[in-house]
Amino acid sequence: MQYLPNILFFIALLAGVGFFVMNIRKLTRNIKLGKNVNRTDNPSLRFKNMLKIALGQYKMVRRPISGILHVVVYVGFIIINIEVLEIVVDGLLGTHRVFQGFLGDAFYGFLIGTFEILAALVFVSVIVFWTRRNLANIKRFLSREMKGWPKMDGNLILYFEMVLMTLFLVMNATDPAFQQAGVGNPISQFLAPLFDGFSTETIHAVERTAWWIHILGILVFLNYLYYSKHLHILLAFPNTYYANLKPKGQFNNLASVTNEVKLMMDSSADPYAAPAEGEEEPIPEKFGASEVTDLNWVQLMNAYTCTECGRCTSACPANLTGKKLSPRKIMMDTRDRLEEVGRNIDANGGTFKDDGKQLLNDYITPEELWACTSCNACVEECPVSIDPLSIIMDMRRYLVMEQSAAPQELNMMMTNVENNGAPWQYNQQDRLNWTKEV
């Protein structure tokens, strides 16, 4: 019985980490359903962007109130969880504050004191976030895609953080030896008097209960990330590293279309020539994207990284003028469909069984896609370098090139370009008539 708590702790740790690894493997599998794209160029710039945007929170503080509060929560939560290392060692070995003897009372007290101050700041910041999300009537939190689970998810994570910070402070406040040392308790010393009059056994029971719930809560939080928008805590770093480095507004060309154009411009080429020896007959590629598997793996990682903060939608001119387009919804729909495809694969022994649905029409409508002005405001605003525009353009490409389903105005323009060499409906011979008036 002496080692029962250690055994239970080991089982809980193994189960929590094991389930997390299983979910990460599933996440990786889903992302790899996307098409291959090479994002290994210019590693120094990519690493710099990752440090500046993901670690340094560079784009968050453009909106000072929410940005600074997010930095407090981000820094506080990461640094405070350094103590998890000590909790794990104590839990496995049956020790108590094992690092105190190793680091010395002064330095250990400085660390725990810093953690306590950060825990209090995180708690206050989370209260402000909850107020902004639920009481302040901020428009970007009231969009149609933020009803139901997304709203609940945003609140649940705030409750998680409040409870974990409270447990950390209670754990310290009910540790008599730690309080008597008088070092490292700038916040918990004010909570300790709440337990005056309790017996030694009761105080110890409260401390142990807070300790257990705290570590179990962290394990639950770790595994909750996969089901939450807060997966960006993990994915923000690779997402910013593999972001597109090309100038905003520069779209990619399909190799198959480029080859056709080259063939048309080369009068000596034979379009019916057989492939050269050793070459295979090229397989016609689907133009654009109508399903998540038509997108590339970076776009799918973008979908999982979306924080649902709504900065993209609040900056979108189409959305601001009342159109249905919401870049945030584009990313959320892509993630939801990808999750649905993943569950389908799991349920069918590792292969996808046609479910009669796809990303286009069942999740994202052509009306949303054609409302986009391709201004890149959403890409510029995203604090973790997500690119909703690339998904919109790929789906537009499918509508135009596979279904000829462009709006009438666009079809007229493309017909004029094809027939007249210009977007306007007049003969090529009349193109320079305007110079007669100069």
Q: What is the mean pLDDT of residues 369-388?
A: 96
- Asked if 311 contacts 381 with a C-beta cutoff of 8 angstroms, the reply is yes
Q: Pick from 190, 206, 230: which residue ends a domain? A: 230
Q: For the chain, what is the radius of gyration of the CA atoms?
A: 28
233-262 pLDDT per residue, tens: 999 999 999 999 999 888 888 777 777 777
Residues 100 and 225 in one domain: yes
Answer yes or no: is 171 within a domain. Answer: yes
Q: What is the mean pLDDT of residues 92-98?
A: 93
**Least confident among 186-200, 262-276, 380-394:** 262-276
- Asked if 17 contacts 84 with a C-beta cutoff of 8 angstroms, the reply is no
Contacts (Cβ under 8 Å, ≥6 apart) of 430: none
Answer yes or no: is 246 within a domain. Answer: no
Q: Pick from 210, 230, 250: which residue ends a domain? A: 230
Q: Backbone phi, then psi, for 399, in 5-degree steps?
A: -60, -40
Residues 226 and 142 in one domain: yes
Residues 160 and 209 in one domain: yes
Answer yes or no: is 300 within a domain. Answer: yes
Give percent of the chain with pLDDT exceeding 70: 95
Answer yes or no: is 434 within a domain. Answer: no
Residues 42 and 114 in one domain: no
Residues 86 and 149 in one domain: yes
Residue 30 in this model has a pLDDT that exceeds 80: yes
Residues 49 and 170 in one domain: no
Residue 220 in this model has a pLDDT that exceeds 90: yes
> So what's the pLDDT on residue 429?
78
Residue 278 in this model has a pLDDT that exceeds 60: no
CATH of the domain at 327: 1.10.1060.10
Answer yes or no: is 201 within a domain. Answer: yes
**Least confident among 153-167, 252-266, 312-326:** 252-266
Answer yes or no: is 278 within a domain. Answer: no
Q: What is the mean pLDDT of residues 93-100?
A: 92
Rounded Cα distance, 403 and 421, in Å:
23
> So what's the pLDDT on residue 131?
96
Q: What angle do CA 189, 194, 196 make, to 5 degrees?
A: 95
Residues 349 and 201 in one domain: no
Q: Using 50, 70 and 90 to split pLDDT, how confident is the model at 273?
A: low
> So what's the pLDDT on residue 54?
93
Q: Which residue has the higher pLDDT, 422 or 401?
A: 401
> So what's the pLDDT on residue 435?
83
> So what's the pLDDT on residue 181?
86
Q: Which residue has the higher pLDDT, 308 or 284?
A: 308
Answer yes or no: is 277 within a domain. Answer: no
Rounded Cα distance, 375 and 372, in Å:
8
281-299 pLDDT per residue, tens: 555 568 899 999 999 999 9
Q: What is the mean pLDDT of residues 107-116?
A: 94
Residues 45 and 168 in one domain: no
> So what's the pLDDT on residue 227?
94
Residues 297 and 361 in one domain: yes
> So what's the pLDDT on residue 276?
59
166-202 pLDDT per residue, tens: 999 999 999 999 999 888 999 999 999 999 989 999 9
DSSP string, 271-332: TTPPPPTTPPPPPPPPPS-SSGGGSBHHHHHHHHH-----HHHHH-HHHHTT-S--HHHHHH
Contacts (Cβ under 8 Å, ≥6 apart) of 221: 160, 164
Query: Taking the C-alpha atoms of 392, 398, 401 and 403 in order, what is their torsion angle to the nearest 10 degrees?
Result: -120
Residue 438 in this model has a pLDDT that exceeds 90: no
> So what's the pLDDT on residue 253?
82
Q: Using 50, 70 and 90 to split pLDDT, how confident is the model at 279?
A: low
- Dig out the tokens for 311 from the structure: 């900065």
Residues 410 and 378 in one domain: yes
State the total domains in the chain.
2
Q: What is the mean pLDDT of residues 1-16?
A: 92
On average, the pLDDT of the chain sits at: 91
> So what's the pLDDT on residue 277?
60
- Dig out the tokens for 60 from the structure: 């968050």
Residue 385 in this model has a pLDDT that exceeds 90: yes
Q: Pick from 230, 245, 272: which residue ends a domain? A: 230
Give percent of the chain with pLDDT exceeding 90: 75
Q: Using 50, 70 and 90 to split pLDDT, how confident is the model at 436?
A: confident
Answer yes or no: is 346 within a domain. Answer: yes
Residue 272 in this model has a pLDDT that exceeds 80: no
400-412 pLDDT per residue, tens: 999 989 888 888 8
Residues 152 and 99 in one domain: yes
Of the candidates 371, 145, 400, the one whose C-alpha atom is nearest the C-alpha of residue 290 is: 400
Rounded Cα distance, 76 and 227, in Å:
23
Q: What is the DSSP letter of 229?
A: G
> So what's the pLDDT on residue 250?
86
Please report, for residues 155, 326, 392, 395, the alpha-carbon distance to residue 333 in angstroms, rounded to integers and kept in the order given.
20, 11, 12, 13
Q: Domain range for residue 115? A: 4-23+63-230
Question: H helices within 32-97, ranges in order?
Answer: 43-49, 64-80, 83-93
How buried is 161 (Cβ within 10 angstroms: 0-12 exposed, 13-18 middle, 19+ buried)?
Answer: buried
Of the candidates 78, 17, 34, 92, the one whose C-alpha atom is nearest the C-alpha of residue 297 is: 34
Q: Backbone phi, then psi, for 94, in 5-degree steps?
A: 75, 20
> So what's the pLDDT on residue 72?
93
> So what's the pLDDT on residue 271?
61
Residue 164 in this model has a pLDDT that exceeds 90: yes
Residues 49 and 99 in one domain: no
> So what's the pLDDT on residue 173?
96
